[in-house]
């Protein structure tokens, strides 16, 4: 037997069975998902008003919004976000383009970034572009999800790919990346100031054989830090007061720094002060110096890192480093993205996050 009332929450259908003993079993009710039409009917408003109330439309009165929200909660109504994204051509998803989770600073940053995205009322959709050859395909696949915005934390997307998103009114924010993309925002920490701070503290320490250690080929951030470091010590180099040796490792991680320590330290005229492009590299370098080569830090070797990851402050290392705040970087990123998603007319910018020297025990 079917109910003809048109209510699409409870169908009103009953299934009645007659057991062999002649008694009638209790009816079985089938529960259907509550729709916005149910909420509208119960709250005494139009269906469009329900949608506007639950999407935060400021033109709806507080009394109406409270009544609709209370009704929705009482009925157990859940917004069909898939259907909404099909209608509006926008979802509440923010695409995060990253490269693996082996880098401690990237993990800390993504942790804060994901929290900031969720606090802003969006949901993160993470893709891994560890293989540069797959970056273009992976990013284009994000378009299938009607994403509201995209944050690129690893790799540098070809301008044509970035334009795919921008032409569809999908804001793009590049974090610690090189270059500019017309219509997108670029947010970098102050690599130049960081390189200068590292140079100043190592020169002040009295060390005279300086080096900069970074992954072979480098990244945009690492190269910018090294260039700023060399520029800051240039007058001392010109006068012959100090020497400089560029150093490279095979990977931008602990093992890369450790192997570089074994290769470059413990020799005559080896550097006695090294600025590392990342803390992770610096920790590996320090362990090779202390435990494999018997060097004392900072007496025999002064070390400065960059990032101020959690391990840098732990008792085993107490690394002097240049700090960039992952929490502030995430807040700046999402703040800018929200402005773009809201349709605010703002000019493209290269935003710079300040850094600071953290003095510990390795200099």
Domains, the chain, with CATH or none? 36-79 (1.10.260.40), 89-189+327-354 (3.40.50.2300), 191-323 (3.40.50.2300)
What pLDDT shows up at residue 7?
39
Over residues 58-94, the pLDDT tens digits come to 788 888 988 988 898 888 876 655 445 444 456 889 9
Tokens matching residue 306 = 């960059």
Report yes or no: 221 and 256 within 8 Å, Cβ to Cβ. Answer: no
- In the block, tokens 């709250």 appear at 43
Tokens matching residue 175 = 């974090």
Tokens matching residue 20 = 């062999």
Mean pLDDT for all residues in the chain: 86
Which range, 16-25, 41-50, 297-306, is most confident? 297-306
Determine how β-strand 185-189 pairs with β-strand 302-307: unpaired
What pLDDT shows up at residue 309?
97
Determine how β-strand 149-152 pairs with β-strand 172-175: parallel
What sign does the CA torsion over 145, 150, 154, 155 have?
Answer: positive
299 Cβ partners below 8 Å, 6+ apart?
none
Band (96; pLDDT cuts 50, 70, 90): very high
Query: CA–CA separation, 40 vs 77, rounded Å?
Result: 11
Mean pLDDT of 195-205: 98
pTM of the model: 0.76
Distance of CA 198 to the CA centre of its chain: 26
DSSP 8-state symbol, 350: E
Over residues 213-269, the pLDDT tens digits come to 999 988 889 999 999 999 999 999 999 999 999 999 999 999 999 999 999 998 899
Mean pLDDT of 148-158: 81
- R_g of the chain, CA atoms, integer Å: 29
Q: Which helix (H) or strand (E) holds 334?
A: helix 326-341
């Amino acid at each position: 037997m079917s109910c003809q009332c048109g209510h699409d929450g409870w169908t009103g259908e009953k299934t009645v069975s007659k057991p062999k003993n002649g008694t009638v079993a209790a009816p079985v009710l089938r529960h259907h998902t509550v729709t916005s039409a149910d909420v509208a009917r119960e709250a005494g408003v139009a269906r469009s008003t329900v949608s506007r109330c639950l999407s935060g439309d400021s033109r709806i009165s507080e009394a109406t919004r409270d009544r609709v929200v209370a009704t929705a909660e009482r009925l157990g109504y859940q917004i069909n976000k898939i259907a909404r994204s099909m209608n509006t051509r926008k979802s509440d998803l923010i695409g995060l383009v990253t490269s693996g989770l082996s880098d401690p600073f990237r993990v800390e940053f993504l942790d804060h970034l994901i929290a900031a995205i969720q606090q802003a009322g969006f949901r993160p959709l993470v893709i891994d572009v560890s293989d540069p050859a797959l970056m273009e395909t992976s990013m284009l696949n994000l378009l299938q999800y009607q994403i509201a915005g995209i944050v690129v934390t690893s790799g540098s997307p070809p301008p044509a790919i970035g334009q795919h998103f921008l032409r569809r009114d999908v804001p793009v924010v590049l974090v610690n990346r090189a270059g500019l993309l017309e219509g997108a925002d670029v947010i970098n920490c102050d690599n130049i100031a960081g390189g200068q701070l590292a140079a100043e503290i190592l020169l002040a320490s009295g060390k005279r054989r300086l080096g900069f250690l970074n992954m072979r080929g480098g990244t945009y951030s690492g190269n910018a830090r090294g260039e700023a470091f060399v520029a800051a010590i240039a007058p001392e180099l010109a006068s012959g007061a100090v020497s400089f040796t560029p150093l490279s490792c095979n990977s931008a991680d602990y093992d890369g720094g450790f192997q570089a320590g074994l290769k470059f330290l413990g020799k005559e005229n080896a550097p006695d002060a090294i600025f590392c492009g990342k803390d992770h590299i610096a920790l590996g370098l320090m362990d090779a110096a202390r435990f494999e080569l018997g060097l004392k830090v900072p007496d025999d070797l002064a070390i400065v890192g960059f990032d101020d990851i959690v391990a840098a402050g732990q008792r085993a290392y107490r690394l002097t480093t240049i700090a960039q705040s992952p929490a502030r970087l995430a807040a700046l990123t999402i703040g800018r993205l929200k402005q773009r998603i809201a349709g605010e007319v703002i000019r493209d910018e290269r935003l710079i996050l300040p850094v600071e020297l953290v003095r510990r025990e390795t200099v």
